[in-house]
């Protein structure tokens, strides 16, 4: 795990946490996530067989090269890939004790729900704790925009309506997901200006 992530994780674990919301957050390692995403892209591009495999291998080579470059020049996606290449979310999943919502998106190509839910079930040997709620938002893309077909997610057009499905959910006693979700959506809707507090 990168040093920065270790410090963040350590400080997060030592502070009392009221709840956790993971919006389209992966439960698999970065290279697994990239592999699944590139397979999805190949399929959406109509590639099959050898062509799909060649596409996958080419994209993985570029990702690995970018990761190596990112280790020297920590910038943008290159830096993200370098910092996250060895991070495995299993530790975080196993130590969460507060009410937690994992909200995956049905048409999400970077974080495919079925793969990530399967991984979560593996982490907990098929018994995801009651305080962890897992949901899949219908028709949503990675940024919770609504599309009618999975391959539309590849383009992820911001002109599509944003899902409000989380606002209509039943929640664990004492936890109101509406407050943090509306805070997050208003922050995202106005642009990620990190100078303004959430």
Domain boundaries, the chain: 17-188
Q: Is the pLDDT confidence value at 156 over 80?
A: no
Helix 76-84 to helix 3-14 angle, to the nearest 10 degrees?
70
CA distances from 148 to 47, 101, 110 (A): 21, 24, 17
Q: What integer is the mean pLDDT of 17-45?
A: 88
167 with 182: CB under 8 angstroms? Answer: yes
Q: 12-27 pLDDT, tens per residue?
A: 556 677 778 888 889 9
Stated pTM of the model: 0.73
Query: What's the whole-number mean pLDDT along residues 74-82?
Result: 77
């Amino acid at each position: 795990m990168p040093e920065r992530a270790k410090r963040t994780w350590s400080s997060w674990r030592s502070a009392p946490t009221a709840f956790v919301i993971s919006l389209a957050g992966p439960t698999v390692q970065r290279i697994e996530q990239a592999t699944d995403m590139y397979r999805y892209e190949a399929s959406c591009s109509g590639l099959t067989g050898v062509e799909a495999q060649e596409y996958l291998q080419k994209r993985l080579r570029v990702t690995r090269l970018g990761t190596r470059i990112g280790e020297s020049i920590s910038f943008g996606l290159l830096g993200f890939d370098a910092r996250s290449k060895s991070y495995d979310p299993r530790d975080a999943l196993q130590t969460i004790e507060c009410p937690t919502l994992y909200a995956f998106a049905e048409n999400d190509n970077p974080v495919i729900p079925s793969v990530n839910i399967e991984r979560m079930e593996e982490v907990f040997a098929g018994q995801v704790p009651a305080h962890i709620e897992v949901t899949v938002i219908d028709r949503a893309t990675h940024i919770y925009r609504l599309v009618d077909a999975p391959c539309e997610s590849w383009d992820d057009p911001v002109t599509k309506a944003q899902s409000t499905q989380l606002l209509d959910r039943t929640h664990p006693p004492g936890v109101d997901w509406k407050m943090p979700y509306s805070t997050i959506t208003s922050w995202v809707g106005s642009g990620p200006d990190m100078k303004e507090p959430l």
